[in-house]
Structure 1
Amino acid sequence: MTPDTAPATHPTPPPVPYGTPDTPRIAVRGEARLEVDPEIARITVTVTARGKDRRETLADLTRRNTLALDLVKTYGDAVERLETGALTLTPELGRHGRGERVRTHHGLVHITAELNDFTALGELTTALADLDLTRVDGPWWALRPDSPAHRTARQQAVREAVQRAREYAEALETTLTALVELADTGAEDTHPRVPQSTRALSRAAYGAGPAEDEPAPLDLEPQRQHVRAQVDARFTMAPPRL
């Protein structure tokens, strides 16, 4: 047979995205919503300093920053993460006069800490807020990215999809035959990371002087976390008798 007389070949048609009378398909969605206790809590600490001399202000800021960091480190394994963020030292010019004269300097250091012990969290938050010119914001409650709660939610979503598909098939007096597709449509979503009411604590904010006694630790109530998973599933089923 010569190339001129060879039979024409036709490409294989792509599979249709829907069922046929011989192989009907069923599409369902499975969802799961869990409410679980948080695993970690995050606080932010802002240490400030102010003075007319730039070097003295920087030295004061460094001392207060070291004091705050050392305090956090005393809580050992309860602190999972400790980071120092941006440091700023800003001159403030006088409002009057022809020349640019610096009236004072403002220094800021931002610290972030994540804790897994919420009793220690209350003690640390109170101790930090008792430091001079130190502000504490938080806590923000959360789950770890690898929390078992995420896996549990995903598995429950899959089981619900299978159960829902079986119920539809039973309504048609038939049975499922195969799983065609399983798609994760939204992944789990832990929220909110923002607290219901952010506490901003600072001794300087309330105009308090040196404390004679240590303040009592704050009693913090952990905020429950919501975990959600969602899947789309497609199955084939035996042809029902309609």
Structure 2
Amino acid sequence: MRYFLEFAYKGTRYHGWQYQPNACSVQETINHALSTSLRENIDVLGAGRTDAGVHAKQMFAHFDTEKEIVEPVFIKKLNSFLPKDIAVFKIHKVAVDAHARFDANARTYEYYIHQQKNAFECDDSWFFPYPLHLELMNSACAILMKYTDFECFSKTNTDVNTFNCTITKAFWIKKEEQLVFTISADRFLRNMVRAIVGTMINIGQEKVSLQQFRAIIESKNRSKAGFSVPAHGLYLTQVTYPYITNLNTQKNES
């Protein structure tokens, strides 16, 4: 039987999602908790990879077991084996060929910036105390959505077959004392969101024009784009599947 695990994590003390032999990862931590709970060797496969320090308000991973899982009891038990910075919301029983990574049809990220020093946001939002032209940054979002090839925002030496992504949503808003960037697409390249945000920061400071932004995208050259913003302001906020509709409502709470 195959199950999808729906969960969230704070990425501060982890070296990303994916297992690494000499570092603590979210995947390894969940593998251990599931293996302990089910008393068998469990290896989860996630909906995607997040870099060191990146958070997830909603993440999915699938695993196989021959045991029938009783959800409310099992979730409570599993959470008791997990550290406080990883929380499981729900378990979905799915078809045996369902795949957490390849079946996802959309993903959404948010990036948080605070512009006044805040002792309580230092691990969860990036402090950038300089003026930004939000209207220009949203104009850049409109330009961004007209393209599909985002090689210029991809980490170099990445093993992918295509740099094409279909962006369905991209915008900046001011939310109380924070600026929040939201972006949704069918897929994302490694480091793509952080590179987009860094480039838009340059636009917001009027160091890069909208015409230059178009040229950066069309160049397909990572060195032409802006810097990569720090990981701790980035959140994976939603992953959607065509066969899962009763998604956890806590995922978008701040």
Higher strand proportion, which one?
1
Q: TM-score, normalization: structure 2?
A: 0.28
Instruction: Flag the structure with larger Rg.
Output: 1
Q: TM-score, normalization: structure 1?
A: 0.29
Q: Which has the higher contact order (CA 8 A, sep 6+)?
A: 1
